[in-house]
């Protein structure tokens, strides 16, 4: 581990950061919470010898409510999401997912922007961001654009971010009160485990449990996080019952395209996806699933 080989730039404001990034572009590696990058540094598998430390850009530490949207600054950590009243009230699925990321120490350091920047198909904040219709703000010294999160990823570790761009903000849509939601993941242990499969779902059901609309996003089962589009269609306007729960879960397990890797086989992932979706929808059917309610007992 040769820490001395890295030059670290620690800009004090966004303009300064964008200026450095414009000049260095792909020669410099961004680092926020460091929970991915420090591991790469330890293993000596990062090619850039310069680091752009974003952790002093306090102007990117905010959670703003704007009408139907919640805007989250790039430096917001999982812990801050868990403590945020506005996120708990209006996007509780993101809180549930945050609580499963790593362990307490990782949630205190890691950021949403870092999860997006890392662009792992198993990134646990990503399926929730899909079903929350999130968008990613990319800023460079000369430009600014907003990309829907479902279009942001091009493949494992590949995104639409240009080398001179920073993710500065993530915007999510508020979930309407009364909607059902669940986030479920399967890893090889409770804490600090990379997901084998993860599922995020937001469902709008009428009082007789007929499905008005449903969003289902899955992680770690394709080159990028994906919507289970066919299964969503299959479910829409149908009466939720045990048969439909089984049918949707089966459809999801067929619709995904998992691979076999060190953590599990493709077949195992299909079965796990079936199981997680079945369990989640079963809870919706039985009325034990969580609903966006407006109640919050957190700290802030």
Partner 1 sequence: MQKFLTPNIIVLDMDVSVTFTLNGKQVIVKAPAAKSLLRVLREDLGITSVKPGCEAGECGACTVLMDGEAVTSCLVMIVQAEGHQIVTAEGLVKDGKLDPLQEAFVEEGASQCGYCTPGFIISAKGLLLEKPNPSENEILEAIGGNICRCGAYPRIINAIKKVGGEQH
Which of residues 66, 190, 287, 295 is near partner 1 by CB under 8 A?
190
Name which of partner 1, ligand FAD, none residue 171 binds, using a CB cut-off of 5 to 8 Å depending on partner kind: none
| 3-class secondary-structure state, position 191 | coil
Interface with ligand FAD, residue 101, by CB under 6 A: yes
Name which of ligand FAD, partner 1, none residue 221 binds, using a CB cut-off of 5 to 8 Å depending on partner kind: none
Interaction pattern, residues 157-186, with ligand FAD; x per rule: CB under 6 A: ----x----xx-------------------
Name which of partner 1, ligand FAD, none residue 111 binds, using a CB cut-off of 5 to 8 Å depending on partner kind: ligand FAD
DSSP characters over 206-259: -TT-BEEEEEEEEESSSSS-EE-HHHHHHHTTSB--HHHHHHHHHHHHHH----
Give start and end residues of each alpha helix (H) in the chain: 14-24, 37-42, 78-83, 85-90, 92-98, 104-109, 112-118, 126-131, 149-152, 229-235, 242-255, 266-286
* Closest CB to partner 1 among residues 66, 190: 190
Interface with partner 1, residue 35, by CB under 8 A: yes
- Phi and psi of 37, rounded to 5°? -65, -40
Residues 26-45 that bind ligand FAD (CB under 6 A): 29-37, 39
Residue 97 to residue 81: CA distance in whole angstroms: 10
Interface residues with partner 1 (CB under 8 A)? 1, 3-8, 10, 31, 33-35, 38-39, 41-43, 51, 53, 55-56, 79, 99, 102-106, 108-109, 190-192, 299
């Amino acid at each position: 581990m040769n820490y001395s080989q890295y030059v670290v730039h620690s800009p004090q404001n966004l303009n300064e950061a964008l200026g450095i990034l414009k000049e260095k572009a792909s020669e410099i590696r961004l680092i926020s919470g460091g929970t991915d990058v420090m591991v790469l540094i330890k293993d000596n598998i990062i090619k850039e010898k310069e680091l752009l430390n974003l952790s002093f850009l306090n102007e990117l530490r905010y959670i703003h409510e704007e009408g139907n949207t919640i805007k989250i600054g790039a430096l917001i950590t999982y812990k801050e999401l868990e403590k945020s009243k506005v996120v708990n009230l209006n996007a509780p699925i993101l809180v549930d997912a945050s609580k499963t990321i790593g362990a307490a120490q990782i949630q205190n350091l890691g950021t949403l922007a870092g999860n997006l920047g890392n662009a792992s198909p198993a990134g646990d904040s990503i399926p929730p961001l899909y079903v929350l219709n999130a968008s990613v703000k990319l800023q460079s010294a000369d430009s600014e654009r907003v990309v829907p999160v479902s279009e942001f990823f091009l493949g494992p570790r590949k995104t639409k971010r240009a080398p001179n761009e920073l993710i500065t903000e993530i915007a999510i849509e508020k979930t309407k009160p009364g909607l059902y939601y669940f986030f479920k993941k399967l890893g090889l242990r409770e804490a600090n485990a990379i997901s084998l499969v993860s599922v995020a779902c937001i469902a709008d059901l009428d009082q007789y449990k007929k499905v008005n609309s449903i969003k289902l996003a899955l992680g770690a089962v394709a080159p990028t996080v994906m919507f289970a589009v066919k299964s969503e269609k299959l479910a829409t306007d149908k009466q939720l019952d045990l048969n439909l729960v089984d049918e949707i879960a089966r459809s999801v397990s067929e619709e995904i395209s998992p691979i076999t890797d060190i953590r599990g086989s493709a077949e195992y992932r299909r079965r796990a996806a079936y199981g997680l979706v079945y369990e989640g929808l079963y809870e919706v059917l039985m009325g034990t699933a969580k609903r966006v309610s407006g109640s919050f007992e957190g700290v802030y």
